[in-house]
Amino acid sequence: MELYFLGTNAGVPTLQRNVTSIALRMLEERRSLWLFDCGEGTQHQILKSPLKLSKLDKIFITHMHGDHIFGLPGLLSSRGAQGVTSPVTIYGPPGIKTFVETTLHISQSRVPYNMEIIEHTGGVLFEDSSFQVESAKLDHRAESYGYRIVEKDLPGSLDLKRLEAFGLKPGPLYGKLKRGESVELEDGQWIHASDVLLTPKKGRVVTILGDTRPCEGVELLAKDADLLVHEATFMEDLSDLAHEYYHSTAKQAAEAAKRNGVQALFLTHFSSRYKDIEHLQPLLKEAQEVFEHTRLAEDFGLYPIHRRA
């Protein structure tokens, strides 16, 4: 699992940063790509990146402000123009279905693949044998949501010494034990997976928030996350302005990470008043004074999501 930031600016793009879009690349886990928000110009950012629209199968929209959705019709249209025929599912707040269908219809855009649009107001949105995605409402001027992506625990590795003690050699039975099945040896003895599997590998938790002020939804989604992506539109000296415009400061993001036992924090959605990476250093310092494991998200930055030891 890797995070790839396609845009980290708030409101409008600048020469240094595009507006919001984040990709979660899961090539090893499910050979797919999930996109979180799709601000204007996202498809141009993808062209400059190692990401492939052919791998995209899910899009999660946090809220209906233009800097988070204006790139969606063009991206969906271009995906079809590239000859991609695999289906895509879009999750978003009420209104996302009307927006997508209306813009594609009026522009006579052809989408030659199945597209499912699911409007939601929070809760568990998706679950399979490997992942669960949960959403909760945040506190913003528009109806805004965050997403919590939970990777389910994986079986532990096989204990080769225990297997040797049972006289079992590499072969098909190894695979059955790895899948949690029990196997019978030639002498009639049964070996259960629990006898030869090491501690399960803890699944990773990634939380990606939409625009928000500090609120209960942040606490719910961020709890014990391995990685939290939190907006930091302003520094703490502009906390009154942040509150007025329903945004957060870098310090507030760091406090949320520390309070909820997060392993790593990425700040994003920076105001245009902070023109480049140099001007963002005070935000980083402010956050790191509260929560050491904080980083600034950068456009075209690729960040692995590590498992806990």
Q: Are strands 123-127 and 115-119 parallel, antiparallel or unpaired?
A: unpaired
Q: Which domains, from first to last, does the chain contain?
A: 2-153+204-304 (3.60.15.10), 160-196 (no CATH)
pLDDT digit string, tens, across residues 211-220: 999 999 999 9
**Does residue 269 have a known ligand-binding role?**
yes
SS (H, E, C) the chain: CEEEEEECECCCCCCCCCECEEEEEEHHHHCEEEEECCCCCHHHHHHCCCCCHHHEEEEECCCCCHHHHCCHHHHHHHHHHCCCCCCEEEEECCCHHHHHHHHHHHCCCCCCCCEEEEECCCEEEEECCCEEEEEEECECCCCCEEEEEEECCECCCECHHHHHHCCCCCCHHHHHHHCCCCEECCCCCEECHHHHECCCECCCEEEECCCCECCHHHHHHHCCCCEEEEECCECHHHHHHHHHCCCCEHHHHHHHHHHCCCCEEEEECECCCCCCHHHHHHHHHHHHCCCCCEEECCCCCEEECCCCC
Question: What sign results for the dihedral spanned by CA atoms 285, 287, 291, 295?
Answer: negative
pLDDT of residue 189: 85
**Does residue 67 have a known ligand-binding role?**
yes
Kindly state the tokens that stand for 153.
């625990």
Write the CA distances from 262 to 47, 91, 292, integer angstroms: 32, 25, 11
pLDDT digit string, tens, across residues 91-126: 999 999 999 999 999 999 999 999 999 999 999 999
Active site residues: 67
Cα–Cα distance between 298 and 17 in angstroms, integer? 8
Kindly state the tokens that stand for 184.
């019978």
pLDDT of residue 185: 80
Tens digit of each residue's pLDDT, the chain (309 residues): 999 999 999 999 999 999 999 999 999 899 999 999 999 999 999 999 999 999 999 999 999 999 999 999 999 999 999 999 999 999 999 999 999 999 999 999 999 999 999 999 999 999 999 999 999 999 999 999 999 999 998 877 888 888 888 887 788 888 788 777 888 887 888 888 888 887 878 899 999 999 999 999 999 999 999 999 999 999 999 999 999 999 999 999 999 999 999 999 999 999 999 998 899 999 999 999 999 999 999 999 999 998 876
Phi and psi dihedrals of 244, rounded to 5?
Answer: -60, -35
